[in-house]
Amino acid sequence: MSFVPDPKGPPARPTDPLLEIYLERRANLVRFFAARTGSRAIAEDLAQELYVKLATRDPSVTAENPVALIYRVATNVMLDRARGEARAGAREAAWRRVAHASIGGEDVAEDVPADEAVASRQRLRQLVDAVAELPPQMQRAFRTHKLEGRSHAETARIMGISVKSVEKHISAALKALTEKLGR
């Protein structure tokens, strides 16, 4: 019995229209995941996971708007991952709390190389300076949300303004910071 693909049969490229759309938009989806998860590496992995999800779905299910369907599945893939990560995150934090560990009498701590430390101090200064130069309301919204980790709604409550205004302030702040820090 032979498993060689029939030359008239399916080629190596997917013929599934949904997968075609996925492949065209893969870079966009990675950006979507990167913004939602805060990590390029996780984004790449989620894009791969999304592909597997789409490739193994029931092919009889079709959608009127395939792009919207792909983003819906993408959101689900991300939420599934987030549930698993919550546990791993707590574990990671436990490791980070100890500055270094001694295993079997051997110190396994590792220091950041000196030149890297200098570079990251300079980078930190640039980040701090850029925020300090923002107009007061914009700065307060950005600091409360991005640096103190409050949601848009909480930030709105603290500042006594609408959620819509908070979003405007934060995106104006991000635009200004990108112009300042981007080369």
Partner 1 sequence: MINARRHGDDARREDAAAWVVRLEAGDLGEAEAATFDAWLSAAPANAAAFDAALAVSHAYAAAADEVALALSQRRTAPVRPTNRRALVGFGVMAAAAALAVVVAPEISGPQTETYATAKGERRTVELADGSIVDLNGGARMSVSLGRDGRRVTLAEGQAVFDVAHDARRPFTVAAGDRTIRVVGTQFDVRRLGGKVSVTVARGAVEVRPAGGASGKAYRLHPGQRLDHVEGAAATRVAAAEPAEVLGWRSGRLVYRQQPLSEVIADLNQQFVTPIRVEDAELAATPISGVLVLDDQDAVIRRLALLVPISAVRSDAGVVLRRDVASDR
37, two tokens = 């998860």
**Burial letters for 84-107: b for 16+ Cβ neighbours within 10 Å, e otherwise?**
eeeeeeeeeeeeeeeeeeeeeeee
Minimal distance, residue 115 CB to partner 1, in Å: 18
Query: Given the complex with partner 1, which of 9 and 60 has the nearer CB atom?
Result: 9
Query: Given the complex with partner 1, which of 60 and 135 has the nearer CB atom?
Result: 135
Question: What is the radius of gyration, based on Cα positions, of the chain?
Answer: 23
Minimal distance, residue 112 CB to partner 1, in Å: 13
Minimal distance, residue 114 CB to partner 1, in Å: 18
Minimal distance, residue 39 CB to partner 1, in Å: 8
> Tokens 């790449």 label which residue?
44
Residues 6+ apart with CB under 8 A from 55: 14, 16, 19
Interatomic CA distance for residues 7 and 12, integer angstroms = 10
Query: Given the complex with partner 1, which of 16 and 143 has the nearer CB atom?
Result: 143
Query: Given the complex with partner 1, which of 56 and 60 has the nearer CB atom?
Result: 56
Query: Given the complex with partner 1, which of 28 and 162 has the nearer CB atom?
Result: 28
Q: Angle at CA 95, nearest 5°, toward 90 and 96?
A: 95
136, two tokens = 């007061």
Minimal distance, residue 91 CB to partner 1, in Å: 6
